[in-house]
Amino acid sequence: LQENKRIDTDNLDFSIYNPSIDDFSSLDFREDDNSDPLKVDEFIHKNPKHYVDNHVSTIFTVRHHKEIAAFFTVSMSSIRKKDIELDDKINVTFSDYPALLLGQIGVDKKFRGRGLGQYICKYCSGFGQRLNNDVACAFLILQTTKELAEKYYESKCDFRWKKSNKDIVWMYRKLF
Ligand SMILES: CC(C)(COP(=O)(O)OP(=O)(O)OC[C@H]1O[C@@H](n2cnc3c(N)ncnc32)[C@H](O)[C@@H]1OP(=O)(O)O)[C@@H](O)C(=O)NCCC(=O)NCCS
């Protein structure tokens, strides 16, 4: 029954990934059919430190009541004006807009369907808003499958996207 309850947000802990403490080896970030189209599971199990050491991803470990439940990565990035819906374009000369990239997001199979993915998206929006105080940041962005875009990020997490028939699409959420 515990598995069906919404995540207890007072007992969530977000910390920068520490390879000597955070053991992801027994966690499963594949889709329900065991596929891994966005290579989320592969990323965290195959030398994630390489991304950190090369300054391309910051990895966050998310614990629920001290147990690892999820991870995500963030990086500085930008989104092309052509991937933004007409209504959301900004009237400036830039051909792309500054954005915070939610590069990978994975909720362990055991913790799914309890609102954690949506909470992480909100957390990252707040993160982008804070960053904007020092370095301009207009959007939170991610790349995902068309299926998840429709069934999850658009309907549950307030992301928008320029509809296309591509298998992998860019999505964005305005920070302001
Ligand atoms: C996609 C993912 C991050 C969602 O996280 P989550 O914490 O399980 O999702 P939430 O609890 O916030 O949201 C649950 C709702 O979204 C829907 N949903 C979540 N994943 C879905 C999926 N793959 N297909 C369809 N609907 C989905 C659920 O049906 C549920 O709807 P309800 O509230 O109406 O019952 C998680 O399933 C995951 O890690 N998947 C494997 C890795 C992956 O695909 N990462 C995304 C890369 S962009």
pLDDT in tens, 63-107: 999 999 999 999 999 999 999 999 999 999 999 999 999 999 999
Residue closest via CA to ligand 1's atom 8 equals 112
5 has a pLDDT exceeding 90: no
List beta partners, residue 76. 100
* Coil, strand or helix at 45: helix
From the alpha carbon of 40, which atom of ligand 1 is closest?
42
Mean pLDDT of the chain: 96
Average pLDDT over residues 4-21: 94
* Cβ of 113 below 6 Å from ligand 1: yes
* Cβ of 114 below 6 Å from ligand 1: yes
Note the pLDDT of residue 2: 53
Q: What distance in Å separates the CA atoms of residue 18 and residue 16, rounded to the nearest whole number?
A: 6
Q: Which two tokens stand for residue 173?
A: 């959420």
Of 62, 137, 63, residue with least CA distance to 105 = 62
Average pLDDT over residues 132-161: 98
From the alpha carbon of 116, which atom of ligand 1 is closest?
7
Average pLDDT over residues 99-116: 98
Average pLDDT over residues 60-65: 98
Residue closest via CA to ligand 1's atom 42 equals 106
Distances (CA, A) of 119 to 14, 28, 103, 115, 142: 11, 19, 16, 6, 15
* Cβ of 69 below 6 Å from ligand 1: no
User: Chain-centre distance of CA 87, in angstroms?
Assistant: 24
Average pLDDT over residues 48-66: 98
Q: Strands 139-145 and 168-174: what pairing? A: antiparallel
* Cβ of 31 below 6 Å from ligand 1: yes
From the alpha carbon of 38, which atom of ligand 1 is closest?
47
Where does the pLDDT of residue 1 fall: very low under 50, low under 70, confident under 90, or very high at 90 and above? very low
Half-sphere exposure in the Cβ direction for 123 (13 Å, CA): 20
Does the CA dihedral 131-133-136-141 come out positive or negative? Answer: positive
Q: Which of 38, 107, 172 to mutate to test the pocket of ligand 1 (most atoms within 8 A of CB)?
A: 107
* Cβ of 152 below 6 Å from ligand 1: yes
Q: What distance in Å separates the CA atoms of residue 106 and residue 97, rounded to the nearest whole number?
A: 26
Residue closest via CA to ligand 1's atom 47 equals 105
3 has a pLDDT exceeding 90: no
Q: What's the 95 CA to ligand 1 centre distance in angstroms?
A: 32
